[in-house]
Amino acid sequence: AVIGVIGLGYVGLPLAVEKAKAGFKVIGFDIQQKRVDMVNRGENYIGDVVPEDLKTVVEKGMLTATTNYDLLKECDVVTICVPTPLDKFKQPDLSYVINTTEEIAKRLHKEMLIVLESTTYPGTTEEVVKPILEKTGLKCEEDFYLAFSPERVDPGNLIYKTKNTPKVVGGVGKKSTELAKLLYESILDAPVFVVSSPKEAEMSKILENTFRIVNIALINEMAIIARKMNINIWEVIQAASTKPFGFMPFYPGPGVGGHCIPIDPFYLTYKAREYGYHTRLIELAGEINDSMPEYVVQRVMELLNERKKCLNGAKVLLVGVAYKGDVSDTRESPALKVLEILEKYHADVVPVDPYVEEFKYKDQIRKTQKLTEQLCEWADIAVITTAHKRNVDYKMLVEKCKLIFDTKNILGMLGFKGDNIYLL
Ligand code: SAJ
């Protein structure tokens, strides 16, 4: 069988490589010629892909990439792994999914299996994707097959990768479900869990991420209360974590970034409104998380004031711009929101991040600097906004900085101590 994977990002490329490794002939589709060329040269650009694996499957001719959607005609299976962002009104933007489905519809043929993996609100597969495909006159569940199977890639996770993470599958009918289940069982070393329709599969993914955003908001609120009461929230979390059942630790920070957690729950909010329900808890969680960058700057102001310094003109070393530890992605990064607010108060900020050389900031490209002793001594305060475990010289930071505000307690987690270190 020939498998098509549309969207060669952090979800699609690992999936394409795994399918090629399993012995399928895979055609990767992407609109970015740069990505297509890199794949065809066997050059990896996704952290979670083993570079050797990509090289091998490309050299063996098991994986080729293209921007030409006509090659979809050769595919027996097509997996859609394109982004589902929010637009500037925080409304779901399904344009990538719709455009991709329309491209597939032009090449749809009998016996084709289409699987949507992009995170979206319940109902998308049956109410948006299916009608576009059936406009061709071909009938779902008779002429072609359609299922939803949420991606669960956790960028930077060294233990769970595409191959060993369990998968959920929901087809629009028995045959679609069976075919999709067989597809994933043939490439994964993990159980494939079948649900009764695409809706349950779509909703299960939203639940996974909404569970996170709500619990992160809870611990952020707890951190604010604890600070006012002079309680060490990090100790509190460790203490609560000794409960062997019914508790799962989350950690406070400067906010919630990435392309999933701050976005996916608002797909549900949007859809729930259509059914007349207002998802108050989810929206409140979003508000609390969105208030954290301002809270971080408030704490910086307090720490400087205690030393008779004001934020205006303060020399701030911002340690970490990625949205989470040990990744290079800065999408929705709370660190960038902290940077923006600090500069709004006219602080003089130098961002450093070993994983990020340059980043998009206010429609410009901004560069990070290398962390040096001089920078540590220059700074009135170093603000740690990303919990990078690796590639940061924290020993130098603790020794050379006069004041450190560690919003992620990464120094504590790595065993560094110092009376110049302050926590959220
Ligand atoms: N964060 C906190 N406190 C926490 C956990 C996370 O402030 O206790 C912040 C992080 O710093 C980051 C954001 O929330 O800015 C999102 O973190 P994340 O750990 O959820 O990471 P993502 O968005 O890269 O990946 C998540 C996956 N993460 C985990 O399950 C650990 C998973 O939920 C999904 O596979 C993925 O989103 C997705 O694609 O939906």
What pLDDT score was predicted for residue 395?
98
What pLDDT score was predicted for residue 260?
87
- Give this complex's ipTM: 0.90
Q: What is the pLDDT of residues 137-171, one digit of tens each?
A: 999 999 999 999 999 988 888 899 999 999 999 99
What pLDDT score was predicted for residue 88?
87
Stretch 270-279: mean pLDDT: 96
Ordered DSSP codes for 62-84: SEEEES-GGGGGG-SEEEE----
CA of 240 to the centre of ligand 1 (A): 21
Inter-axis angle of helices 33-40 and 51-59, to 10 degrees? 80
Query: Ligand 1, closest atom to CA 212?
Result: 20
Which residue CA neighbors atom 27 of ligand 1 most closely? Answer: 154
Torsion of CA 66, 68, 70, 72, to 10 degrees: 30
- The model's confidence at residue 24, banded by pLDDT at 50, 70 and 90, is very high
Query: Ligand 1, closest atom to CA 324?
Result: 11
Stretch 170-177: mean pLDDT: 98
What pLDDT score was predicted for residue 361?
94
Distance CA 403, CA 303 (A): 9
Active site residues: 260
What pLDDT score was predicted for residue 102?
98
Which residue CA neighbors atom 14 of ligand 1 most closely? Answer: 256
Q: What is the pLDDT of residues 207-239, one digit of tens each?
A: 999 999 999 999 999 999 999 999 999 999 999
What percentage of the chain carries pLDDT values higher than 90? 95
CA of 7 to the centre of ligand 1 (A): 21
Stretch 326-336: mean pLDDT: 94
Which residue CA neighbors atom 18 of ligand 1 most closely? Answer: 261
- The model's confidence at residue 48, banded by pLDDT at 50, 70 and 90, is confident
For residue 202, pLDDT beyond 90: yes
β-bridge partners, 317: 350, 382
- The model's confidence at residue 91, banded by pLDDT at 50, 70 and 90, is very high
